[in-house]
Amino acid sequence: MRNRRVVITGMSVLTPIGNTLDEFWNNSLNCKIGYDLHDYKGMKRVLGLIGDFEDLTANKPAKK
């Protein structure tokens, strides 16, 4: 098998327990759970909601 090199140029996350890598990592270490019981179309469902999602995408330029 041929040796391959990999370069990681960045890391990011978008999860129910954090929208930045630091926030996600700290909440993971503190055993924070990102899922909860919510009403969805009149029924109770277990959902993992991502907060402030619009704020994260608002300042991104559109790809052409």
% the chain with pLDDT above 70: 78
Mean pLDDT throughout 9-23?
88
Mean pLDDT throughout 26-44?
90
* pLDDT for 55: 60
pTM (two decimals): 0.58
Report yes or no: 35 and 17 within 8 Å, Cβ to Cβ: no
- Which residues have CB under 8 Å from 15's CB, separation 6+? 24, 34, 48, 50
Residue 50 has pLDDT above 90, yes or no: no
What's the chain's average pLDDT? 83
